[in-house]
Structure 1
Amino acid sequence: MQTTFSPADLRRSVIAVPPLCRDANFKSSAAENAKLIKHIEAGGVNILLYGGNANFYNISLSEYGSVLAQLEEVAAKDTLIIPAIGPFFGTAMDQVEILKGTRYPTAMLLPTLAVSKPEGVREAVLRIVEKLGRPIVLYVKDEGYVNLEVVKSLVAAGAVSWIKYAVVRQDPAVDPLLEAISNEVPRELLVSGIGEQPAIIHWKKFGVQAFTAGCVCVAPNRSQELLLALQAGEFDKAESLRERFLPLEDLRNAYSPIQVLHHAVKLAGIAETGPQLPLLSELDADKQAAIARAAQDALAWSRA
């Protein structure tokens, strides 16, 4: 596993956001997680962020250290793994105590609107970073979680390794918050965090030259191909690639990004992801059938 981080790393690879594979008893499965990681790495993608899709919202503190050790062990030496912490302050601080003893160069604070205010998020990030001794990923997922001044102050304090921007807009080209952040914060820290769908618009309109994705876990080489097309300014090619991800992405939007991706990796035959960790649940058989078709089509396209 790569044990250093710089913003330049964000340009080399799509940032995959995979599910965490578990066995029938909800235990993290080293063998199945290794299958998924190697599938992603084989597609040229070597940055993996274990956050919402991995359901780190519901991970137990008692297993946190063993999961981190497992992921570090199965990743290739040049693969960067970024685990999540939180979303609540007390949980994050307890997890940081474990992270301090590892070689992970950064971690991402999961967001929550339930019991947070922008100034409180600022205070939490500063305290987490002080305890961890390393900057962390700021995940801007909802309007009102943070504001421009909070983002600027955290970047100025050296508390932010990078920013995952994932506020969903009806029209991703109309985004006052992203526009303000992109004008005030070094763009090398900005990452489009909503998959392949808005990545092209975020790239062209706001200068965001990196993106995270879930469907990359099924077709990693095609998602990486999209990134390379953007870097080459081949926007028509990038758009044609983006459109091929839509059947699976539309299902994720319709039913649940986390649940659909969890099923998709299994139903495509990539790795056995196991049962959904509560508080999530299984999708019904009809939905799974549609997911299987889309996931298998995406994998076949990836291998073509």
Structure 2
Amino acid sequence: MSMEYETIAKRLETISAIPVTPFHPVTKRIDWAALEQNIHFLLEQGLQVIVPCGNTSEFYSLTLEEAKAEIAKVVEIVNGRALVVAGVGYSTETAILLGEYAQAAGADAVMIHQPIHPYATSRGVYTYFKTVIESLAIPSVLYFKDPHISDDILLQLALLPKLVGIKYAVNDLPRFAQLCRNMPKHSSVKLICGTAEKWAPFFLTAGASGFTSGLVNVHPTLSFELLQAFRSGNMAAMWAIWEKTVPFENLRAKYNNGNNVVVVKEAMNQIGHYAGATREPVDPLDERDRAEVRAILEGWGLPTARSGDNERPRSH
């Protein structure tokens, strides 16, 4: 791994923010002004890694042109103040084309989504990741979330100079700990907890260098306090903070993770950080879940302006 890639890998040792994509509640078009406001919020709160076109960004509901536009817009807004890791995916050719676009737009790296295919094999996934990684000049982070795919492919891919990180989203702690122990000795690849604050303390203890977060769009202070408490060895404080995040993350996990994005958007809307609506196949929250979001926010001491996501804040 070159010095440049090692530097980028080192910068992943933190919280990776996955921003939402704000959609207008009627037209479902992207609200670019709201996206800009939300990215500025993340930067002002000290986030150093921003991942446009992640799953919390509703990547799979974006057209390719929208994905390109979002990557370019985020790079422009960030303007070198944080690492921009652009999500790419779909077919091998499409992932490469998106990666080349991200590269030309000025992204620092790409995050390669795990290929969505009903008949994937470990060797096939290895080939997919390897082909995309080697086709781009900028470094790559892998998004690994299928428990049926062997971790052995990650150990092989970790030998590639342009791989700088693995976002690991399989909640099997003994398996992840073994992966950490088996990583090639000279690899600078950073292993990142890909399942947010609920799982972060466990993955960090097992050897992760950081974690991804959707919560940072709402209450980044909690996320940073959790990471800092772990790093300082203050386990009592870490678990106290963790307990505050769990109800939010549990609500996101409801309906087989169907609530993952919409809970974040609802929370943002309720505190006045416009996130808009979700696109199909994600439903709006029902009244019961909206009320639970409100109760969680109030428990954190965050003032809630309203419930629902159909009214755009007047500040826009």
Q: Classify the TM-score, shorter chain.
A: 0.7 to 0.9
SS at match of 1:191: strand
Q: Cα 1:183–1:231, aligned 2, differ >3 Å: closer, same or farther?
A: same
Q: Cα 1:97–1:115, aligned 2, differ >3 Å: closer, same or farther?
A: farther
Partner of 1:96: 99
Instruction: Name the CA distance, whole Å, in 1 between partners of 2:61 and 2:46.
Output: 30
1:132 aligns with 2:133: no
1:265 aligns with 2:268: yes
Partner of 2:168: 165
Q: Cα 1:297–1:29, aligned 2, differ >3 Å: closer, same or farther?
A: farther
Partner of 2:177: 179
Partner of 2:297: 295
State the one-letter code of the partner of 2:181: N
Q: Cα 1:279–1:210, aligned 2, differ >3 Å: closer, same or farther?
A: same
Instruction: Name the CA distance, whole Å, in 2 between partners of 1:108 and 1:296.
Output: 34
Instruction: Name the CA distance, whole Å, in 1 between partners of 2:238 and 2:248.
Output: 17
**1:25-36 pair list within 5 angstroms:** 25-36=27-38
Is residue 87–residue 109 contact of structure 1 (8 Å, CA) maintained in 2?
Answer: no
1:95 Cα deviation after fit: 1.6
Instruction: Name the CA distance, whole Å, in 2 between partners of 1:56 and 1:15.
Output: 16
Instruction: Name the CA distance, whole Å, in 2 between partners of 1:226 and 1:76.
Output: 28
Q: Cα 1:200–1:187, aligned 2, differ >3 Å: closer, same or farther?
A: farther
State the one-letter code of the partner of 1:19: V
The structure with higher relative contact order (CA 8 Å, sep 6+) is 1
Q: Cα 1:109–1:64, aligned 2, differ >3 Å: closer, same or farther?
A: same
1:296 Cα deviation after fit: 4.7
Instruction: Name the CA distance, whole Å, in 2 between partners of 1:138 and 1:72.
Output: 20
Is residue 21–residue 274 contact of structure 1 (8 Å, CA) maintained in 2?
Answer: yes
Q: Cα 1:7–1:262, aligned 2, differ >3 Å: closer, same or farther?
A: same
Instruction: Name the CA distance, whole Å, in 2 between partners of 1:46 and 1:252.
Output: 24
Instruction: Name the CA distance, whole Å, in 2 between partners of 1:299 and 1:190.
Output: 33
**1:6-21 pair list within 5 angstroms:** 6-11=8-13, 13-21=14-22
1:121 aligns with 2:125: yes
1:179-204 deviations in Å (ceiling 9; x for gaps): 22101225761111111112112222
Instruction: Name the CA distance, whole Å, in 2 between partners of 1:44 and 1:63.
Output: 26
Partner of 2:242: 242
State the one-letter code of the partner of 2:113: L
Range with bigger deviation, 129-138 or 52-61: 129-138
1:55 aligns with 2:20: no
Instruction: Name the CA distance, whole Å, in 2 between partners of 1:285 and 1:20.
Output: 22
1:142-196 deviations in Å (ceiling 9; x for gaps): 2123x23211111112242201111124xx4xx22x1221012257611111111
1:223 Cα deviation after fit: 0.9
1:45 aligns with 2:47: yes
Q: Cα 1:188–1:225, aligned 2, differ >3 Å: closer, same or farther?
A: farther
Q: Cα 1:90–1:288, aligned 2, differ >3 Å: closer, same or farther?
A: farther
1:76 Cα deviation after fit: 5.2
**1:177-216 pair list within 5 angstroms:** 178-185=176-183, 186=187, 189-204=190-205, 206-216=206-216
- Structure 1 segments unaligned to the other structure (5+ residues): none
Is residue 177–residue 207 contact of structure 2 (8 Å, CA) maintained in 1?
Answer: no
Give TM-score, length-normalised by structure 2. 0.84
Is residue 15–residue 211 contact of structure 1 (8 Å, CA) maintained in 2?
Answer: yes
Identical counterparts, % of pairs:
22
State the one-letter code of the partner of 1:120: G
Partner of 2:68: 65
Give TM-score, length-normalised by structure 1. 0.87
Instruction: Name the CA distance, whole Å, in 1 between partners of 2:100 and 2:199.
Output: 36
Partner of 2:308: none
1:38-62 deviations in Å (ceiling 9; x for gaps): 2222322221223110011221112
Equivalent residue pairs, number: 290
1:225 aligns with 2:246: no
SS at match of 2:278: coil
Range with bigger deviation, 181-190 or 47-56: 181-190
Is residue 18–residue 217 contact of structure 1 (8 Å, CA) maintained in 2?
Answer: yes
SS at match of 1:281: coil
1:151 aligns with 2:149: no
Instruction: Name the CA distance, whole Å, in 2 between partners of 1:295 and 1:44.
Output: 21
Instruction: Name the CA distance, whole Å, in 1 between partners of 2:264 and 2:66.
Output: 23
1:27 Cα deviation after fit: 2.7
Is residue 103–residue 109 contact of structure 2 (8 Å, CA) maintained in 1?
Answer: no
- Structure 2 segments unaligned to the other structure (5+ residues): 304-316
State the one-letter code of the partner of 2:8: S
Instruction: Name the CA distance, whole Å, in 2 between partners of 1:32 and 1:80.
Output: 20
SS at match of 1:27: coil
SS at match of 1:19: coil
Partner of 1:285: 287
